[in-house]
Structure 1
Amino acid sequence: MAAEQLPGSIPEAVRRAAERFGSREAVVDGDVRLTYADLLERVRTVARFLVAEGVRPGDRVAVNSPNTHHWLAAALGAQYAGASLVPVNTRFTGPETVDLLRRSGARALVVAGDFLGADRLAAIREAAGPDGLPALRTIVRVPLPGPLEPAEGVHDWPDLDRVAARVPLAEVEARADAVGADDVSDILYTSGTTGRSKGVLSAHRQALAVAAAWAGCGEVAAEDRYLVVNPFFHSFGYKAGILVCLLTGATLLPQAVFDAARTLELIERERVSVLPGAPTIFQTLLHEPARRDRDTASLRLAVTGAATVPQVLVERLRSDLGFETVLTAYGLTEAVVATMCRPGDDAAVVSRTSGRAAAGFEVAIGADGEVLLRGPNVMLGYLDDPEATTKAIDADGWLHTGDVGVLDDAGNLSITDRLKDMYVCGGFNVYPAEVEQVLARLDGVRDVAVVGVPDERLGEVGKAFVVADGELTEDAVLGHCAPRLANYKRPRSVAFVPELPRNASGKVLKRLLGKEKV
C-alpha cells in the first residue's frame, strides 16, 4: 500500500475498511464473527460511550485485557473519540499497572474481569491504596471468562450500548473527523527489561505507515486469515496485527492465550494463512504431538524475530508446517518495523538477517556497532521524559537502538546482539547471539540462551542455558561448540532448564538467567 493511499488517521482507516470490505469478516473470536461493517458499529458504540463518560480529545484510554474482539473495539473506539490508546501489559502486577496508569494520566480504563485466574481490577484498587487514581474517572470490565459479579463504580461491557445512546452519532463522527495525522494515536510502554518502562509516543500517520509497510512486505491481502497470537498490547500484535488487517481487509483471529493444540485446531478449522510470532511459538508448534493430525496446508506467511532465528527453524517452517513464505523482521517499540525480509529471500538470508530497510527508514551502524535508525516513523518521543528522548534520538535525528548489528552489501541487517548482552572474555567481545545460532544446530536443543558470568581469570565466560528434547549432556553441548567457535566464544558451562524466561514479545529475559532465576 503506497503512502499516498493511506488513511489520514486510524478513525479514517476504520471507516474506509467498512466501505471497502463491509461484508467481509473482520474478526473471528470464538462464536463472535464481525464483518467490517459490524466492527465500525462496535467502534462507534465505544466512542459514544467514552464521550458520554466525559473523555475529551487528547485524553488517554488504557486497555488491560487479552486478545479478544473487546480489545479491538475498545482501542479503536478510544481513537475514534479522539483519545490516545494506552495498551497495558496483561502480565503486569497491580503495582506495575497502577504506576503506568498514573504516569499516563489515563482517563478511562478497560480491564478484563478475570483473566488467568486473576481479578485485575481488585489488584489495581489494592495497589492504588488510599490515594487512588485521581485522573481515572471511568472503568469498564470485560466479561472474561464469563458473567461478572456487580462492582461499585464500574461499567460492565454490556452497559456500553445503554450509556452510548446518550450521545448522538453525529458527535462522535465530528470527533473522528477532527483526528489529525500528527495527533498521538497511542502510548506504548517499553518492556522495561533494563529499567523502568518508558511511554513511547506515536502519531496516527506513523502507526498506519509501519502497518502498511509490514503488510506490503508480507503481501497481505483481503483473502488472508490472520491468527494473532502476539499480544495486542505489544506493537507486534497491535500495529503489525490489528492495523494490518484494517488496511488490507484480512480477517483477524485473536488468541487470548497461546496453546499449541488449540492453535493447530484453529489453523485447520478457520483456514489460517498468516501466523506471525516469536521463534518459541513456532518451535512449540513443531514439537506439538497433535500437529501430525492437523491440516496446515492453508498456511502461507510466517513472520518471526525478537530472538535468534536458527536456519533450521526457517527450513522446518517450510517443510513441516507448509509455509510458502517465512520472513524475519526487526523493530522496537520506538520504531515498530525498521527492516524486513521479502518474499523470495532464501533460508540463509531469512535466518542470518532481519532484511532490508522498510517503512521509510534509513539504517546505519554507529559507534560500537550500534544500529541507528532515522526516518519519518521514529517515535515522537518518550512521554514526559525529554532527557531520555534526547539521549535516544540525537541531534541528527538518528534513533540509538542499543542493538549491535552489521549490514551486508545488499543492505540486509543482521542483529548480532544487544549492547547490554555483550560480554568480554579475556579481552575479546562475545556476542551471545552468534553462539546461540551455533548451538541451535545441535540435535536435541529446543531452545537456548547464552549469558556472560563472572570468571576470576578471564573476567567473564559464557554459560549456556539449554531447553533440551530428550537426553543431552553438558559434554555434548560443549563438544559441539569446540570445532565451530573460537575458544573465547565457547561456553564454559551448561545449565539445563525446563524453559527460558521471556517477556511478552518473546525476548529472553537474560537478566533473570544471569541470576539463575529460571
Structure 2
Amino acid sequence: MIRINDTVYDQGHFRDAVDRIAADAQFDKRAGDRFAVCFSEAQDWLAFFFAARAAGVSVLPLHSSTPYAAARRQAETAKCNWLFYNRLEGEPITEDRASATGQLLQMSSGTTGEPKCIARSWGDIDDEIESYVSSFVEPRDMTPLIACPTTHSYGLICGILVALKRGQTPAILDTGNPKFLLRKLRETERPYLISSPAILHTLARLLPAGDQIHATMTSGTLLPESWFRQIRNKSRHMFQQYGCSEAGCIAINPDVQAANEVGYVLPRFWLRDAGTDGDPKEIVVERGGMVVETRDLGYRRDDGMLVFLSRLDDLINVSGLNVYPKEVEDIVMTFGGIGDAVVFRKQDAFAGERVALLFSAEHAVDRALLRQWCAERLAAHQIPTEILQVERIPRQANGKISRRDVAARYDAGEFAAARTEAA
C-alpha cells in the first residue's frame, strides 16, 4: 500500500495496474529490451516500475517534468528500445540490445561531467535494500514521508522500496508546496521526512518557534553550514546518507552532528581508501570485485565515521593552493541576509584558477562589504574575486548544484544581477 498526497493506493490497485501494463508493454516478448518511462502521475510511473521489475526487464525512470524532446534524447543516450511518454503505447527508439538482464537505469546528475547512463541489476538493488534495512534500524517505527522525486534512486530505493521492505506504508508528497508539507507533517505520527536540502531548509525556516520535525533525512549534496544548523535545530532526529549512482547508498549517519559527517559505511562495501584527517584522499569502495572511485575527497575518522570534504572536480587550485568551495560558501552565508550561495572556478592567466561566487539574498548586498567580510575570515587565496548577486541559485530537481553548469552559464553571460543589488 502506498499513499500519494491524500490518496491511498492499495495492493489491489497496483496488482491490476501491473497486469495491465505487462500486457500492454508486451514484457513477455521484449525480455531483453530497455524501457524509458516518463509519466506525469506518480501512481502511473510506479505501476510501470513494479511491472518492469516483476518481469525482470530494464527500466529508465525520467522525472515527470522532462519535456518530450529531452526524454527522447535521454532514452537514446541510455540505448533504450522504447519510450513510454504519458501513455501506455511505447514509441520505438532503437533495435539494439544493450543487455539481456534486467536493470534499473539511472542518468547521472551531470554535476561534474556529461550525464551518462548507470545500469544496476535488480539483484544489486535487492542487496542494497537488504543491507540498508538491516544496518539502518532507527526509522523502523516511523512513518516515511517522501518529498523528493521517486524517479531518482534516493526517493525510489531508499524511500519507497526500503519502506515496503520494512512493512511500512510510504507516503509520497509530490508537491513542493511547503504549507501542504507542513500539514502532512502535523497529521502524521512520528513522521520521517526524506527530502532534499532545499526543501528541508525551507520547512525549518517556516516551522514556528519550539516546533520540531520528528525525523529528517538528507542526501545528494552537502548542506551549507547555516542551513545545517537550522535543520538540525528543527529535527528531533536527523539522518544523512551518502552514495553515488554506480554503487547506490554507501554510508548512513544515524545521528548527524556535523554537515560533513556523511556516515558509517554499509557492511556490503569494503572501504579501500579514504585517507586520514591530515591526509584526505579520494573515497574508494569495493564490492564483489567491483571498485567504485567516487571522485569525492574525504577521510575516515578513528570511530569509523566517513567525512566528506569536496568533489575532486570542484576543487579550485589558486596558485597551487587548494580551495574547497563549501568552506567559502559557509563563510559567505554567515553574512546577514544571504540565503544561498555557490562557489565555482574561473580560469586565470596568472593564478591558473580563481574563485567566483554567485549568491542570493533577502536584500541588496554591498559587494565591497561582502569582500571585506570574507577577507577577515578566509585566506587570501580563498577570497572570491568575482561576485554576483542573483535572484536565485540554480538547482537541479534533486536539489544538487552543478558547479560545472553554473560556471558555463556564468561564462555565457546567462546570469543577470538581481534587481535589488546595490550599485
TM-score of Structure 1 vs Structure 2, range by shorter chain: 0.7 to 0.9
Q: What letter matches 1:465 in structure 2?
A: L
Q: What letter matches 2:337 in structure 1?
A: G
Q: Is the contact made by 1:66 and 1:231 (CA closer than 8 Å) also made in structure 2? A: no
**Structure 1's 426 and 327: CA in aligned 2 closer, same or farther, altered over 3 A?**
same
Q: What letter matches 2:270 in structure 1?
A: E
1:409-428 to 2 correspondence within 5 Å? 409-428=302-321
1:250-289 to 2 correspondence within 5 Å? 250-271=168-189, 273-288=191-206
SS at match of 2:184: helix
Q: What letter matches 1:437 in structure 2?
A: D
Q: 1:481: Cα distance to partner?
A: 2.5
Structure 1: how far apart are the matches of 2:194 and 2:369? Answer: 33
Counterpart position of 2:274: 365
Counterpart position of 1:231: 149
Counterpart position of 1:33: 8
Q: Any stretches of 5+ residues in structure 1 without a counterpart?
A: 1-25, 114-120, 126-131, 137-181, 377-395
Structure 1: how far apart are the matches of 2:245 and 2:211? Answer: 31
In the alignment, does 2:224 pair up with 1:310? yes
Higher mean C-alpha deviation, range 444-453 or range 306-315: 306-315
CA offsets, 1:375-397, max 9 Å, x none?
Answer: 24xxxxxxxxxxxxxxxxxxx64
Counterpart position of 2:418: none
Q: Is the contact made by 1:55 and 1:107 (CA closer than 8 Å) also made in structure 2? A: no
Q: 1:54: Cα distance to partner?
A: 5.2
Structure 1: how far apart are the matches of 2:253 and 2:164? Answer: 22
The runs of at least 4 aligned residues of structure 1 exceeding 6 Å deviation read none
Does 1 or 2 have the higher relative contact order (CA < 8 Å, sep 6+)?
1
Structure 1: how far apart are the matches of 2:281 and 2:40? Answer: 37
CA offsets, 1:400-431, max 9 Å, x none?
Answer: 12222222222222222222211211221212
Q: 1:193: Cα distance to partner?
A: 3.8
CA offsets, 1:8-35, max 9 Å, x none?
Answer: xxxxxxxxxxxxxxxxxx2112453123
Counterpart position of 2:264: 356
Q: What letter matches 1:250 in structure 2?
A: Q
CA offsets, 1:128-185, max 9 Å, x none?
Answer: xxxx63549xxxxxxxxxxxxxxxxxxxxxxxxxxxxxxxxxxxxxxxxxxxxx9533
Structure 1: how far apart are the matches of 2:137 and 2:218? Answer: 12
Q: 1:219 aligns with which of 138, 154, 160?
A: 138
**Structure 1's 438 and 268: CA in aligned 2 closer, same or farther, altered over 3 A?**
same
In the alignment, does 2:253 pair up with 1:341? yes
In the alignment, does 2:25 pair up with 1:65? no
Residue identity over aligned pairs, in percent, reads 23
Q: Is the contact made by 1:217 and 1:340 (CA closer than 8 Å) also made in structure 2? A: yes
Higher mean C-alpha deviation, range 75-84 or range 301-310: 301-310
Q: 1:237: Cα distance to partner?
A: 1.3
Counterpart position of 1:486: 379
Q: 1:502: Cα distance to partner?
A: 1.8
How many pairs were matched up?
402
Q: 1:443: Cα distance to partner?
A: 3.5
Q: Is the contact made by 2:40 and 2:65 (CA closer than 8 Å) also made in structure 1? A: no
Structure 1 or 2: more helix by fraction = 1
In the alignment, does 2:19 pair up with 1:47? no
Counterpart position of 2:164: 246
**Structure 1's 417 and 111: CA in aligned 2 closer, same or farther, altered over 3 A?**
same
SS at match of 1:416: strand
Q: 1:440: Cα distance to partner?
A: 3.3
Structure 1: how far apart are the matches of 2:303 and 2:366? Answer: 40
Q: 1:105: Cα distance to partner?
A: 4.6
SS at match of 1:488: helix
Structure 2: how far apart are the matches of 1:194 and 1:490? Answer: 23
Counterpart position of 1:399: 292
Structure 1: how far apart are the matches of 2:66 and 2:33? Answer: 22
Q: Is the contact made by 2:224 and 2:326 (CA closer than 8 Å) also made in structure 1? A: no
Counterpart position of 2:70: 96
SS at match of 2:357: strand
Q: 1:84: Cα distance to partner?
A: 1.7
1:104-183 to 2 correspondence within 5 Å? 104-112=78-86, 133=93, 135=95, 183=101
Q: 1:66: Cα distance to partner?
A: 4.6
Structure 1 or 2: more strand by fraction = 2
Counterpart position of 1:469: 362
**Structure 1's 104 and 466: CA in aligned 2 closer, same or farther, altered over 3 A?**
closer
Q: 2:286 aligns with which of 350, 363, 374?
A: 374
Q: 1:456: Cα distance to partner?
A: 4.0
Counterpart position of 2:55: 81
SS at match of 2:372: helix
Per the normalisation by structure 2, the TM-score is: 0.84
Q: What letter matches 2:269 in structure 1?
A: F
**Structure 1's 410 and 473: CA in aligned 2 closer, same or farther, altered over 3 A?**
farther
CA offsets, 1:105-136, max 9 Å, x none?
Answer: 545444337xxxxxxx9xx98xxxxxx63549
Counterpart position of 1:381: none
Q: Any stretches of 5+ residues in structure 2 without a counterpart?
A: 416-423
**Structure 1's 332 and 420: CA in aligned 2 closer, same or farther, altered over 3 A?**
same
**Structure 1's 134 and 252: CA in aligned 2 closer, same or farther, altered over 3 A?**
same
Q: 1:36: Cα distance to partner?
A: 4.2
Q: Is the contact made by 2:111 and 2:405 (CA closer than 8 Å) also made in structure 1? A: no
Counterpart position of 1:505: 398
Q: Is the contact made by 1:208 and 1:243 (CA closer than 8 Å) also made in structure 2? A: no
Structure 2: how far apart are the matches of 1:499 and 1:371? Answer: 32
Q: 1:280: Cα distance to partner?
A: 1.4
RMSD (Å), alpha carbons: 3.1
Q: 1:199: Cα distance to partner?
A: 1.9
Q: 1:338: Cα distance to partner?
A: 0.8
CA offsets, 1:336-395, max 9 Å, x none?
Answer: 21112123x5x23xx13211211512221379822211124xxxxxxxxxxxxxxxxxxx
CA offsets, 1:232-283, max 9 Å, x none?
Answer: 2211111111211221122222233422222222323345712122211212
